[in-house]
Amino acid sequence: MPKVMLVVSATLNNVALLQPWDGNNINYYFKLKCEFCGWKSEEEALVSVNVHEGAEGRYNLYRKCEGCERPGHITMFTGHEAPLSEDNSEEVGLMVFDCDGLLPTDYCFNGGWLATTMLGTEIYIDLGGHEGFKDVIDGIEVSITDLKGKFVPFRG
């Protein structure tokens, strides 16, 4: 069972910290790929630490591949995440996923993010759609652009 980490990158302008607003409780949206037959989902799947599926509710996502009908599951492991900051905004680890049969691909940013400006103002924002965020807060232009997310092997 491979473990993968979602790493995210962004260009932060006058933003001291960017992180999920509710810690580990953010919903993750991504497409799925079957390890057995190579099938890829067209729609994003929702995976959350608050959702428990499968035998005895052990998995955060449990479903059968639409290509080969084999079951697959994903379990999330918290405790490896870090906020993006002005000094650390390239490939920052967000969440670890233990995968069996189904692999996450094509991460989709969504709502539920907390940005803290350089002056300490907290902003709750929706980063859905990869467009990012731009606004003037306390007289200063604040922006979050160039949003990227990818899954990399995790060896921890």
Measured distance CA(14)–CA(79) in Å, rounded: 27
pLDDT tens sequence across 75-96: 999 888 899 998 999 999 999 9
pLDDT band, very low/low/confident/very high, at 22 (cuts 50, 70, 90)? confident
The beta strands (E) that lie in the chain are given as 3-13, 15-20, 28-34, 45-47, 61-64, 71-77, 84-85, 92-100, 102-108, 113-117, 122-125, 133-137, 140-153
Residue with tokens 């995976």: 47
Measured distance CA(125)–CA(112) in Å, rounded: 6
pTM of the model: 0.91
pLDDT at 27 over 70: yes
What pLDDT does residue 29 have?
93
Question: How large a percentage of the chain has pLDDT more than 90?
Answer: 76
pLDDT at 124 over 90: yes
User: End-to-end distance of the chain based on CA atoms, in angstroms?
Assistant: 14
pLDDT band, very low/low/confident/very high, at 24 (cuts 50, 70, 90)? low
Question: How large a percentage of the chain has pLDDT more than 70?
Answer: 97
Q: What is the average pLDDT value for the chain, to the nearest integer?
A: 92
8 Å CB contact between 123 and 113: no
pLDDT at 129 over 90: no
> If you average pLDDT over residues 65-70, what whole number do you get?
97
What pLDDT does residue 131 have?
79
What pLDDT does residue 130 have?
62
What pLDDT does residue 26 have?
81
